[in-house]
Amino acid sequence: MDIQNEQLVREFCAAWVRRDIAELLGYFAADAVYHNMPLEPLQGLEAIRATLEMFITPAQSIEFKMLAVASTGNLVFTERVDRFTIFGREVTLPVAGVFEIAAGKIVAWRDYFDMQTWLRQSGMAQ
């Protein structure tokens, strides 16, 4: 267990409430990979920034509620409920996330969730 890695992930998840893209990007290594498992992985800060902008910019509020955290070595596992108010709609999304940490930065972030739950609640379902 690496308490520093867990603390970094806790701080990162808590920072979402401020919806500050520059602050969130500061947690990542330059060549980090962000992978929402239902989608293709993204690599590098510019790709991550573009995706964050797609759902942070239109959001009125965001909160990651941490239910559980566990770690081993450089991996930190989270069970969360991510709450968004986006496009005027409330989204409550259960998520399991895995973070890989190196030198105090997130080098990989993988989130596992049900895409249909996101699409249905956000109003983006077709």
Query: How many distinct helices (H) and strands (E) make up the chain?
Result: 4, 6
- Catalytic one of 2, 20, 31, 82: 82
Asked about 31 being catalytic, the answer comes back as no
Is 20 marked active-site?
Answer: no
Question: How far, in Å, CA of 63 to CA of 19, rounded?
Answer: 9
Q: Which positions ≥6 away from 126 have C-beta within 8 Å?
A: 119
Q: Report the catalytic residues.
A: 82, 111
